[in-house]
Every structure is written in C-alpha cells, then in structure tokens.
Amino acid sequence: MNAGDLHRVTRSGEADDVLTGLMQQEWVVYTQPCLNQADTVVDYLARYTHRIAISNARLLAMEGDRISFRYKDYRDDARIKTQWLEGQEFVPRFLIRIRHFGYLSNRARRRKLAVIRHCLAQPPASEATS
C-alpha cells in the first residue's frame, strides 16, 4: 500500500492487522487551544461558513443583539426585502442554511450521493439491502 492510499478491508482479520500496525506507531496529537471564548469560536466557525449560506453583502447591520440582512422574497415576485432578527434566532437559521448548501442540498443531493457511493464502492440506496 502506498502512503496516503486507502483500501477496503476484504478479508477476515485484516482490520485487526491494520489496527495492530497503527498501535505500533508513535503518535503526536495536536490539539487547538480551548474554544472557551466567543472570539475563538467565531474565528473557528468562520473558516467553515464564510460565504456559504449568506454573503457579506447581504449582512446590513448589527445593533446590540439584533442583525439586519437582505433577502429575496420569492412569494412576493422575488422582491428584495430587509429583515431584523435577534441573534438567538439568526444563528439557528444560518446553520440550517449551511446544511442545505452541503452535499445534502436538494439541488445536488442525488448526483453528489451517487458520486460519494461510487467512491466508496457502495450500491445506490434503492439497491442496498438492510
């Protein structure tokens, strides 16, 4: 096996052999500083959420705990509107949108899951047996 290559466990006991080999190595674990302050948590999450669910241009203002942002209302002829939300309401909505932009987004779910299954050598869900 080449360094960095992954392969499937195909025979009985092979997983034990792999784990035994891994346990023989000396491991150095890197841990990041504790995420106990809001600034640290925001910096950490920003790397994963930047321009995913809402662009900076749509964020208009922040006053105290309230956030103002621009959105398109498709129920009203796709008009651009502004909404104010409390931070405690904005964050859960923002996180839900991030989930919808990933590989489980409605627009790309079937295609991306097919690619993932192919890469994992798994049959499509309709062919899989429980």
Spans of all domains in the chain: 38-120
Mean pLDDT for 43-52 is 70
Per-residue pLDDT reduced to its tens digit, 48-82:
666 667 888 889 999 999 999 999 999 999 999 99
Rounded Cα distance, 81 and 27, in Å: 53
To the nearest 10°, the Cα dihedral for 31, 35, 40, 44? 60
* The model's pTM: 0.44
